Every structure is written in C-alpha cells, then in structure tokens.
Amino acid sequence: MTTGDAAALREAVRAARADHRPTVGNRFGTVPLADAYRIQADLFGTPVAWKLGLLSPAKQRQMGLTEPVYGRVPASRLRTGGIRLAEFLQPRVEPELAAVLGADIPAGASPAQAGDAVSHLVLALDVLDSAWRDYRFCAAEVVADNSSGGAAVLADDPVDDRTGSLRLTLDGTTLAEGDLADLAPPAPQLAWLAGQVGGLSAGSRVLLGSPAASVPARAGSLVVHGGGRTLTVAIEP
C-alpha cells in the first residue's frame, strides 16, 4: 500500500458522493483500515451519533474481518422528520435499535461498564447508502464510505423490552422482519466502539444493527415496529 492508494480511495468516495453517481468497488483492498477510518473522519466529519455494522461473525468473515465496523451520523444526517430518496445514491433501509448513553464509556471500559452506561434503547431507522455500485465493496472501501451510512431517524420513547420481533412496514405491508433476540448484546459492542473512537460521552446515541435484512427504499409511510413502540417516517421521492 502507498499513500497514493489511500488518496485514490478518498477521491473515489468524494467524487461519487459529489457527482451523485456510484462508482465501481473492490479496487482498494490494499488500503489498511486505519487509513480508511481516517478518510471516513475527513469526509464525514464530527458525529452526533454512531452506527455499528458487520456485527455478525459470518458477515465479518465474508469481508475478511474479525471485528465490526463503525460509521458516523453527522448532524445533517440525523433526521427528525421525513427522508427524501433523491438525496441518496442507492438508498436502502433497515429497522434497528439504538442505545442512548446515560454515562460516559471511556476507552478501555469493560463490557459490564459499557452496559451500565446505557440509559435506554430506542427504535431507529437506518438509511443505508453506498458510493460503491450495487453495494459491492471491500472492507477498506465500506469503512472509508462511512460504513454505508446515509442517514438515521431515532425515536424519542424508550422501548419497553427486547423480546419479540423488529419489523419494518411500508404503507402497511411488511418489508423486513427479524427477532430482537438475534441482535448481538449491546454492551460488548459499545465497549469495542469506545475503544476505537477514544471513548463515548453521556448522551451519545449508537445504532446497534438490525436482525432484519435491509431492503431498497421506496416512497411511502415507513414504520418500524418493536419493543412495544412504533417509529413512523415519511419517505418522499
């Protein structure tokens, strides 16, 4: 790997986003993840929330990894209202839970300490987007491209429990569904993330992944159901 490889990866992501046109992936597999995360920080800026990805060991093996990846949700991408599909290159959506921290998680915290720092969980909608055509990418490419982070919508009310299913419907039709019990326990993932980013502060929000597969986004009334709550998001063309 050369400095030029990392610079070329950065430019590929930047240009695809600026031109609103996905580019061909699986070209920058020699770029170390440390460089890819530096590109992510440079292009996507200061987060107001974080997102975790590639949480299952199977997905990690598929990408040649032994740990998850993370992305940033900058203020401009944390939405409280609707979503316009035209903003994104190739948007997909999935229902998630997000952790809201009531205390700091310092770098080096144990999973038990991280678990104790969680105030509550809320429903979330993760809007995925990728600069890489058809979501075909290597590990360095997805990390540099913010781990396919497009936007996120978080509910206000805590979920009542973590049993049952997490379901996504569009105009009343189910698009995706998974068992909440299949989600990885959040405490180890939060401890890992804190170690990667130098600690997480009280009030931080972290999207924890989904037990359901992502689906292409379409216009309509999108509703996340789970934990005794619902989150409704208007999706516009």
- CA separation for the pair 50, 85 (Å, rounded): 21
How many CB atoms sit inside 10 A of residue 105's CB? 28
What is the chain's alpha carbon radius of gyration, rounded to the nearest angstrom? 17
Rounded to two decimals, what is the model's pTM? 0.95
- CA separation for the pair 116, 92 (Å, rounded): 32
Q: Running along the chain, 237 residues long, what does each successive block of 10 average in pLDDT?
A: 84 98 97 98 97 94 96 96 95 98 98 98 98 98 98 96 93 97 93 98 97 97 97 97
Question: At 185, which CATH number?
Answer: 3.90.850.10
Q: How far is CA 34 from CA 27, 80, 161, 206, in A?
A: 17, 32, 36, 21
Q: What is the pLDDT of residue 2?
A: 54
What angle (nearest 5°) sits at the alpha carbon of residue 31, between those of residues 26 and 34?
A: 125
Is-contact 190 68, C-beta < 8 A?
A: no
* Residue entry with tokens 């405490």: 187
Give residue-wise pLDDT tens across range 120-161.
999 999 999 999 999 999 999 999 999 999 999 999 999 988
Give residue-wise pLDDT tens across range 6-34.
999 999 999 999 999 999 999 999 999 99
Is-contact 16 23, C-beta < 8 A?
A: yes
Q: What is the pLDDT of residue 233?
A: 98
Residue 170 dihedral angles phi and psi, to the nearest 5°? -125, 115
Q: What is the pLDDT of residue 1?
A: 43
51 lies in which domain range?
3-236
Q: What is the pLDDT of residue 71?
A: 98
Q: What is the pLDDT of residue 143?
A: 98
How many CB atoms sit inside 10 A of residue 7's CB? 13
Counting the structural domains of the chain, the total is 1
